[in-house]
Structure 1
Amino acid sequence: MKAVVLEKPGELVLHDRDMPVCGVGEILVRVRACNICRTDLKCATVGQRDLVYPRILGHEIAGEIIAKGKNVIGYKVGQRVYIHPGISCGVCEYCKKGQDNLCDQIKIMGFNFDGGFQEVIKIDQKAMNSRVINRINDAKLAYEEISFIEPLACCVNIQDRLKMDRESVLVIIGGGRLGLLNLFVAKAEGIKNVILIEENEERRNRGKALGFDAVFNGSDPDLLKQLQMTTNNKGVDVVIPCCPGPEALDLALQILRKKGTLGYFSGISRDDAFYPDINLIHYKEISVVGSYGCSAKHSRKAKTLLESKKVNVRPLISHRVKLEELARGMDYIKNGDGYSTIVVMN
């Protein structure tokens, strides 16, 4: 079978590997689609804290069960599935509370274990114990759509933690893939006023067409005044920056009303020349709510949002590439070309 292996930063190599053997408590999944995340790009170029080389990247995986061990119950060959990438211990305090994304022993496919940029992936006994296999009940969902469950689940995580109500004014900074997925989750939850701040005009226009109630250019000197007018002088209740620049975090703190809430969804990149004015958290009594990845519970909710048609991710599919074209797919992500690039396999 084919697999693309990251030998070291900047070196993606297509390999022919032996087909994995399915043990008695294991499952083999033929990967049909694996979405490329910006974290994959980071791993492929500069590395990542949990990454050990060589490694097969890819953690947004959709596929079909092609073999199962005799001790595996509840699954059938031929079932279409989404693979939740986190393999947790199941016994710690966080796991028992359904917060398995915070498990101290968690291992992630595509970082600690080989991920989805291969034709067949083995789900071993430990991963099966973590219940990483999610059966897809909607036969009409394409594999490409199923591969959005992981990033969608990350958006579910932050918004579940923010506990907004329908009248909350939500601003999303950044109109890329995760900005739009956060929009879709907010609208599925009934949030009436969701605003986009994005400097790219094309993405502002696209964001408006896909459901944002208002869109603004973040570099507009009258931005604060415009936001006040748009919210009838109420101000902004919640901001979720969906881009890594420290300027986005600073803007979020500037535009939040007193007692507002920052959804710390995307970690910021280091920039010694610019530092966000975090004293505004003190002066405005801003609450900060963080989120990291997604738990198995968030994945199940994201799956339900897709299957119920409350969220439609099809407009975000910009490029499809073959497995051997993964490097080209990474270039699409690097250049901000479209929203999602998906590795699709037959």
Structure 2
Amino acid sequence: MKNIICEEPFKFVMRDGEVPTLKDGEALVRIRRIGICGTDFHAYRGRQPFFTYPRILGHELSGEVVEVPENEAGFNAGDNVAIIPYLECGKCLACRSGKTNCCTELKLFGVHIDGGMQEYLAVPITHLMKTNDITLEEAATIECLGIGAHAVRRGDIKKGEFAVVIGAGPIGLGVMKFAKLAGAQVIAVDMNPQRLNFCREWADVDYIVNASEDALEQIKKITNGDYANLVFDVTGNVNSMNNSYTYAASGGRLIFVGLVQADFTFPDPEFHRRELTLLSSRNATREDLEYVAKTIQEGYVNTDQFITSKTPFDEIIDNFEMLMKPESKTIKAMITL
């Protein structure tokens, strides 16, 4: 069995490994598609929190069940599946409250434990989703899009509210798409004109704002001076996060979706005057992922446009760095096996 190990920052190595031996309650999955996300890029560059080397990356995964014991969930060999990559303890307060996405002992495939950049993976049956009704590519986008769906659910959008989404990467695009489906008037903010155009085409946003051209004034004009009911910052950029509150209306909600290795600050008198609600949004739950799968199946989300490159597993080491460069115009990169 082949696998790709990130031995240290900027170093991938292809190795031969053993096919996993199954433990009780696990299924053996042949990995068929691997989505590449910002977490993978950050890990490769040495900038990912909660990370140690060496590590097999990959947590946006779909595949085919090869071996599975008899189970109540009805999984059989040959089923196509998406993998829920968040392994929770099931015992902490967060888990007992249904918030498995922020389990105190959470382990994420490809970050805390070895992930899916390998031909086979042992996965708890409880962390599989049957996806026979959608394609392998569609199934491999579920986790990425689920981050955005969870953030939108955290924001509790009311129909007609203005939602500013800062950052037009794959996660930000997911936030935009599901905010639109929730009934918001979505304002996309980014500095990349190509990405902003894609926001219109793919996420059907209502307005685009170039952040380099006095975004605050543009948002004020769009909202008739009220500013936005919700502001989602998906940049992972501390300067953006420090200033994102300025786009929020009095009584508004500010949701930090991006993760940054830094402290953020903003003036308390201004925050207090507006009575803002500050939320973080981490990962996703099965509920979010099942919702995403349903929207894909019903045609509300087009992953064909979202996936902008497909690279065979044997070629990804040579092409990985190119996918990180702006000139590649990558939205979502996919590895095929």
In structure 2, the residue corresponding to 1:27 is in which secondary structure?
Answer: strand
**Could you say which residue in structure 1 is the equivalent of 2:138?**
145
Aligned letter for 1:306?
I
**Could you say which residue in structure 1 is the equivalent of 2:216?**
224
Maintained 8 Å contact 2:157/2:183: no
> Matches of 2:73 and 2:163 in 1, distance apart?
43
In structure 2, the residue corresponding to 1:294 is in which secondary structure?
Answer: coil
The Cα shift of 1:118 comes to 0.6
> Matches of 1:324 and 1:26 in 2, distance apart?
27
**Could you say which residue in structure 1 is the equivalent of 2:312?**
322
Once the two structures are superposed, the pairs formed by residues 118-129 of structure 1 within 5 Å of their partners are: 118-123=118-123, 127-128=124-125
Are residues 62 and 329 of structure 1, via their aligned partners in 2, closer, same or farther at CA, if it must alter by over 3 Å? farther
> Matches of 2:262 and 2:208 in 1, distance apart?
27
**Could you say which residue in structure 2 is the equivalent of 1:277?**
266
Are residues 278 and 120 of structure 1, via their aligned partners in 2, closer, same or farther at CA, if it must alter by over 3 Å? farther
Runs of 5+ in structure 1 lacking a partner? none
Aligned letter for 1:149?
I
Once the two structures are superposed, the pairs formed by residues 80-159 of structure 1 within 5 Å of their partners are: 80-123=80-123, 127-128=124-125, 131-138=126-133, 141-159=134-152
Over 6 Å off, 4+ runs? none
The Cα shift of 1:278 comes to 4.1
**Could you say which residue in structure 2 is the equivalent of 1:58?**
58
Maintained 8 Å contact 1:94/1:103: yes
The Cα shift of 1:225 comes to 3.2
Maintained 8 Å contact 2:147/2:174: no
The Cα shift of 1:47 comes to 5.5
Aligned letter for 1:284?
R
Maintained 8 Å contact 2:149/2:174: no
Q: 1:260 aligns with which of 235, 239, 252?
A: 252
> Matches of 1:85 and 1:111 in 2, distance apart?
10
> Matches of 2:73 and 2:295 in 1, distance apart?
26
Are residues 62 and 278 of structure 1, via their aligned partners in 2, closer, same or farther at CA, if it must alter by over 3 Å? farther
> Matches of 1:203 and 1:321 in 2, distance apart?
21
TM-score (norm 1): 0.89
CA deviation string 1:24-70 (max 9, x = no partner): 64311111101011111221221644334332110110001011235
Runs of 5+ in structure 2 lacking a partner? none
Identity in percent? 26
Q: How many residues align?
A: 333
**Could you say which residue in structure 2 is the equivalent of 1:303?**
293
> Matches of 1:218 and 1:48 in 2, distance apart?
25
> Matches of 1:82 and 1:102 in 2, distance apart?
20
> Matches of 1:50 and 1:112 in 2, distance apart?
7
**Could you say which residue in structure 2 is the equivalent of 1:212?**
205
> Matches of 1:31 and 1:111 in 2, distance apart?
17
Once the two structures are superposed, the pairs formed by residues 331-346 of structure 1 within 5 Å of their partners are: 331-336=321-326, 337-345=329-337
Q: Which moved more, 1:254-263 or 1:27-36?
A: 254-263
TM-score (norm 2): 0.91
> Matches of 2:102 and 2:216 in 1, distance apart?
36
Aligned-pair Cα RMSD in Å? 2.1
> Matches of 1:7 and 1:245 in 2, distance apart?
26
CA deviation string 1:214-267 (max 9, x = no partner): 11111213x333323322333211111111222322342122122211111112
Q: Work out which structure has the larger RCO, using CA pairs closer than 8 Å and 6 or more positions apart in sequence.
A: 1
In structure 1, the residue corresponding to 2:114 is in which secondary structure?
Answer: coil
> Matches of 1:73 and 1:157 in 2, distance apart?
24
